[in-house]
Structure formats: C-alpha cells, structure tokens
Structure 1
Amino acid sequence: MYAVVQVRGVVKTNHEIKDTLKMLRLHHVNHCVLVPDTPAYLGMIRKVKDFVAYGEVDKDTLATLLRTRGRLTGDEKLTDEYVRAHTPYADIDEFAAALCDGEMSFRDLVEIKPVLRLHPPRKGYKTIKRTFQQGGALGYYGPQINDLLYKMR
C-alpha cells in the first residue's frame, strides 16, 4: 500500500495533472491518501510525481496516522471503539495492519474519510522543486515516506 501526499499546489498546471490529483482525492497541499499497489494507481502516481511524495507505508506509521488524523463523517475522531464496533478488528493497530496487508480498504467502511489532512512537516520540506533523490521532497521515497509521515502526524 502506498501513501501519497500532495506537496505542491496546482496553480498554472496542466488540466490532466489537476484531473489526476482529483481522481486520487488530493485536493489540497499536505493531504494524504492511501492507495493499493495496482498498475492503475501506479500510473496515476507517476503522472503526478512532480507534485506529490509517495512510498510504501508501514503498519506502525499507518496506525499512528489513523489515531491522530483519522476522521469519520461529521469530523469525529477515529477511535478504537468505532473500529471494534464496525470491523472484525479489536483496535486501530489491527485495522492498520489489515489495511497494509490489503485485507480491508477504506471503501469497506463508509463513514471513514479516505483523506488524511496532515500537518505540514516539522522542520519543513527541504525543497519542493527537486525530487527526493536530489535532496528535495518530491517523488518516490520508498520506505522513507514513513519518516515524512511521522513528521506530519
């Protein structure tokens, strides 16, 4: 499962990029979505790679994000009680593990919002005009996306 975070805004960009970000449900900077590892999603991510940071998220980071930034409809916080009542899992940690393994998805639970509205990273981005491999904040992070997500929790 990939975590995709929008890093740059879309003013004066191609409409295809804007449409792809809209299909990924990324409407604002510092918003994060979780997408499965499928060729269709990877193609969309590659198309917007100059505007997002993405990589493979692990279970612990996902559990932390769901505890701090997970929301239900009505802007209610995601709690262990809700997960226990509406899923076969006992708490958010087990639910996050199931999400990472592909056993569950956000679409299985209607009331969970699929977008995580994150805080800007503590200590800021390095630069939003270069890729991660060049010392910036854009593109493919790999497993190091967990460090960025932890700074944005």
Structure 2
Amino acid sequence: MLAAVRVRGTVGVKSDIADTMEMLRLTRINHAVLINENPSYKGMLLKSKDYITWGEIDHETLTQLITKRGRVVGGEKVTDDYINDNTEYSSIEEFAKAVLESEVKLEDANIKPVFRLHPPRKGFEGVKNAFREGGSLGYREEEIRTLIKKMV
C-alpha cells in the first residue's frame, strides 16, 4: 500500500497532469490518499511526480493517520466505537491492518478516502527538487512515514 501527498499547488499545471491528480483525488496541497500498488497507479504517480510525493506506508503510521485525520462522510472523526459498530473489526488498529492487506477499503466503512493534513512541521525540504536531490517531490520509499507523522 502506498501513501501519496500533494506538495505543490495548481498554478501552471498541464491539463493532463491536473486530470491525473484529480483521478488520484489529490486536488489540494497537503491532501493524502492511499493507493494500491499496481501498474496503472504507478504510471499515474510517475506522471504527476513533479507535484506529489509518495512511498510505502506501515501499520503504525496508517493507524495514526486514521485516528487523528480520518473523517466519516458526515465530517465526524473516526473512533474505535465507530469502527466497531460499522465494520467487522473491533478497533482502528485491526481495521488499518485489514486496509494494508487490501481486505477492506476505507469507503467500505464510509470513511473519506482523502486525508486533509497540516503542513509539515519545519516545512518541506524544497518543492521544486526531487527527494533524491534534497527536495520533497517524487518517490521517497519509507521516508513518507516521517513526512506523514510531521503532517498529522
């Protein structure tokens, strides 16, 4: 399971890249989504690499993300009670593990698929360079976990 975060805004974006990011549901800065690893999504990520960053998310980070920034379609926070009442899982930890293993989707529990995050503490490293060049854009492997923890 991959997590993708939009880093740059909408000004000057080519229309085909803007459409790709809209399909990924990354319409605003600091929005994050969870994406399954398959070739079509990989192509979409590579096409919009100059505006987003992504990497592999782990169980602990996903649990923290759902607990602190997850919202139900009505706008309420996601709690253990909500997960227990509306899914077959008893806690957010179990639900997050099932999401990572692709057994269930966020939408199945009526949870919004987009997480609205804060800007990262201490800021982005640079929004015009790739991650490997000291910036914030593109593929960052496991380092996405530290970025998301700074943004939650």
Please indicate the TM-score interval, normalised by the length of the shorter structure.
Answer: over 0.9
**What is the Cα deviation at residue 107 of structure 1?**
3.0
Amino acid at match of 1:22: E
Displacement of 1:35: 0.7
- Give the aligned residue type for 1:61: T
1:102 CA drift (Å): 1.1
CA distance in 2, matches of 1:87, 1:43: 32
Provide runs of 4+ in structure 1 moved above 2 Å. none
Matched with 2:135 is 136
Q: Normalised by the size of structure 1, how large is the TM-score?
A: 0.97
- Distance in 2 between residues matched to 1:94 and 1:106, nearest whole Å: 13
Secondary structure class of the residue paired with 1:77 = coil
CA distance in 1, matches of 2:46, 2:85: 37
Counterparts of residues 54-65 of structure 1 (less than 5 Å): 54-65=54-65
1:1-150 alignment to 2 at 5 Å? Answer: 1-109=1-109, 111-150=110-149
5+ unaligned residues in a row in structure 2: which ranges? none
Deviation per CA, 1:78-104: give whole Å up to 9, x if none. Answer: 010111111111100111111111111
Aligned-partner Cα distance in 1 for 2:107–2:116: 18
C-alpha distance in structure 2 between counterparts of 1:106 and 1:46, whole Å: 24
- Alignment size in residue pairs: 152
Structure-2 separation of matches of 1:117 and 1:107: 16
Identity over aligned pairs, percent = 47
SS in 2 for 1:148: helix
Distance 2:107 2:71 in 1: 14
Letter in 2 for 1:88: E
CA–CA distance in 2 between the matches of 1:77 and 1:106? 13
Q: Deviations over 1:100-129 (max 9, x none)?
A: 1111112323x2110000000000001001
**Structure 2 CA distance for aligned equivalents of residues 66 and 34 of structure 1:** 11
Q: CA deviation at 1:136?
A: 0.5
